[in-house]
Amino acid sequence: MAYWKYAVTRRLTGGPRGGFAHKGSNWFTVDDPSPRSWKADLRLLHESHRVLVSAVGSLSPGRLSKREGSRWTNAEQIAGAAAHDLYHTGQVQLIRKLYGA
């Protein structure tokens, strides 16, 4: 989720590629499954969300229909990032239900 927030933010702001915190970007592996590492990843997720919200908030309404750095409009990319979060949230909820959490 953090990677796609980063990718959409980068496209909206015109930022350079290659700045994501983890090597491998979209398909990175967890080298350290410790609680400390998990908390760092949660901080990354929250920070990625905060930066995306800021980028979206700075867009002029006219830019929403533009295609900037993608085949999708800015509005479609924003909606796609939100849908991506909803998809993974549903996965987490299903797993929690299956495990009785």
37-96: per-residue pLDDT in tens? 999 999 999 999 999 999 999 999 999 999 987 899 999 999 999 999 999 999 999 999
pLDDT of residue 23: 78
Cα atoms in the Cβ-side hemisphere of radius 13 Å centred on 92: 7
pTM of the shown model: 0.85
pLDDT of residue 55: 97
32 confidence band (pLDDT: 50, 70, 90): confident
DSSP string, the chain: -HHHHHHHHHHHHTPPSS--SSTTGGG---S--SHHHHHHHHHHHHHHHHHHHHHHHT--GGGTT---SSSS-HHHHHHHHHHHHHHHHHHHHHHHHHTT-
pLDDT of residue 79: 97
| Interval 3-8 mean pLDDT | 93
| Interval 21-27 mean pLDDT | 73
